[in-house]
Structure formats: structure tokens, C-alpha cells
Amino acid sequence: MFKGVQIFHKLGEMGVNMKPRLIIGILALLLIAPVIANPNGPPWKNGSDLVIDTGCTCHGDGAPSTEVVVSISGVPRSYSLGASYDFTITLQHASNEAGGFLIWDYNSGMLTPGEGSQTMPDEPGALSQSEPGNNWVITWTAPETDIGSVSFQLVGNAVNGNGQFDGGDLWNILSFSISAPDTTYEDDEEGLQLRTISVGDYDSLFVAEEDPAAIEAARQEQIAENFFTNGNLFYWTTLAIIIVGAVVQGEFYERKFGGGPPHLDMSLAVPQGVRRGILSIIAVLIFAWSIDSGQAWGIILLTGMLMLWAIFGVYRTIVQARAPKEYTDLV
């Protein structure tokens, strides 16, 4: 789990001539040792450092990660002399469901392994997993005499299950203590079982991996939405330009080939101009509001076209009122 099997050899001191194949085999073992995981329990030392203090530095990025929540429940606020307590050690991660642990009370009391756990060969006072798992139940027996506060160190490593040391294995360290007898409030049996001490970021547990099919569907939906939005924008904008162009072209042909706009008598032109002028002012105000309030492009385009049409109506009234009278011979 934490560190490969440590091999100590001093070649040449044994006074034995080793065959080349044997030497190559030993060198190969030394090379692959660092990448062999320890599913049946971590070593007690990592070089000159204690794993219980430095953590699983061979895993992950060599530093504790808040993405794994290491917790222990059933821990009393203060211990009673010689009493036994059942602790449950749990690892939580968004995807890694199993792993290992290492716990030590610095030999203040006595830790007894349960199912899936074992005593450390190099430090019988400490416990670790005997195989990859989770939710280990161990027993801690308090000291027979009052030695003050008891400190604990718990290291938890949630692994990805590929049997190697890599970035997919994440670990964390939890330090906690139990107060001396009669120094704090004591929980009842139910409260004791519910009391949990933990380290890590619980929010990271709910970061679910997205389904690739769902990601692709969302991407396709976004493409379709962009296509629809841009298509509408180009279509209606082009249509508006065509309408304006048609009106301008009609004016040109009317003046060039039709003799100009027909005359409109002033008795009709004045009230028509007033009505169209008021309508134009209203249209201008609505268009200005649509821009100022940040309306959708469709609303702005519609109000803009209505404004131009109203102004064009005023223009036509003025032009027709100024046009010369034409007398048509009805005979």
C-alpha cells in the first residue's frame, strides 16, 4: 500500500561469487520494488521516516489530499480507565471505494485488530489493514491509569485498485486525541456510536463523473441551439434588408418611370401626417426602449422595422402633399 518491499543487500560482503543471471535478477527486483503496492498492509517506515507521521508519500502526488475523507467513529470525548471502545475507520472518495489504513496511539493504550485488520510487525501497538477494504472495526482499550490526554494518528489511503503507486491513489492524515478521565462531557452509548471525527472535503465526494454520451448530447444540443439562433438572426436580418431595398427600389422606379408620387390634397395630407407623425414618435420611443433595456435581437429588429415603416409613412405623406396636381381628363 504505502511503500515497496525494502531490500537490503551488500553485494560482495558475503564473499560469494554470484552468477551474472542472479545479479541481474537482484537488480531487476530492486528496480521494480518501488512500483509494487502493499495491499496487505503498509511498511512501518518509509526510509528514515515513520509512515504514520509522513503518510503514504509513494501514492498520489506525495502529499495528503482533501478529496479523500478519512473518518473514525465511536471515539469518546474522554476515556474511562481500562474501558474498551469499538472504533470504525472509514474511507470516502468520489470513485475509490477501498484502500488501507494505519493507526497508532503512541502505545498509550492497546489497539486490537478486527476483521480485515492486523497488528504491525515492526510496531505491535499500531494497526493496519490486512487486505484492501473499508469500514474496519477495531477495539481500543484505555490505559489502566490516568496518563492525561491520549493522542492518535490515523492515515487512510483510498486506492483506485490497479495495484500500483500512481496519482489515482489519494490519502489523508487525521490527528485527534481523547481527553483524560472526568475532564469533559461523556456521551451515552448511542451518542458515542454516532460521534465521528474526520478530515477531508465532503463536497468532493459528490463530484460525479459525467457520462460521455450525456456530454456529447449536450454538445450537440448546444450546436443545434447556436445554429437555430444564428439562422434566425441571418434570415430575419436579410429579410429586413430585402424589404428596405424593395421600398427604396420602388421609390426610384416611381420617380424615374412613373412620374413621381401621386398628389395628396392638403385637406387629407395634414390629418394623415399628424397621425403618422404621432405613430412615428411612439415607434421611435419603443425602439429606443428595446435597445436601452437590452431586449433580444428579434425584438430590436422588429421595433426598428416598425419605426422605419412609420417614418416612411410620414415621408410619403409629405412627398405626396408636395407633388403637383394632375388633372385627369375623364372624357
pLDDT of residue 120: 94
- For residue 128, give the C-alpha cell: 493496519
Q: What is the CA radius of gyration of the chain?
A: 42
Crossing angle (nearest 10°) for helices 266-292 and 297-322: 160
pLDDT tens by residue, 49-80: 899 998 877 776 678 888 899 999 999 999 99
Host H or E run for residue 163: none
Residues 227, 21: Cα–Cα separation, whole Å = 68
Residues 316, 322: Cα–Cα separation, whole Å = 10
First to last CA, the chain: 114
pTM confidence score: 0.53
- For residue 126, give the C-alpha cell: 499500531
Instruction: Name the β-bridge partners of 88.
Output: 73, 137
Residue 159 near residue 100, CB atoms below 8 Å: yes
The CB-based long-range contact list for 184-192 (8 Å cut-off, 24+ gap) reads: 184/77, 184/78, 185/77, 186/76, 186/77, 186/78, 186/80, 187/76, 187/77, 192/74, 192/76, 192/85
Q: Where are the beta strands (DSSP E) in 15-96?
A: 45-46, 49-50, 69-73, 84-92
Predicted confidence pLDDT, tens digits, the chain (331 residues) = 444 434 334 444 444 454 555 555 554 444 444 434 456 778 898 888 899 998 877 776 678 888 899 999 999 999 999 999 999 999 999 888 999 999 999 999 999 999 999 999 999 999 999 999 999 999 999 999 999 999 999 999 999 888 777 778 888 999 999 999 999 988 888 889 889 999 988 887 765 566 788 888 888 999 999 988 888 888 988 998 999 999 888 888 888 887 788 888 888 989 998 999 999 999 999 999 999 999 988 899 999 999 999 999 999 899 888 888 876 655 5
pLDDT of residue 290: 92
Residues 139, 160: Cα–Cα separation, whole Å = 28
Residue 85: burial class (beta carbons within 10 Å; 0-12, 13-18, 19+): middle
Q: What residue spans of 131-257 are helical by DSSP H?
A: 189-194, 212-257
What is the SS3 assignment for 199?
A: strand
Residues 300, 278: Cα–Cα separation, whole Å = 20
Residue 201 near residue 66, CB atoms below 8 Å: yes
Contact residues for 305 (Cβ-Cβ < 8 A; gap 6+): 240, 243
pLDDT of residue 323: 86
pLDDT of residue 19: 54
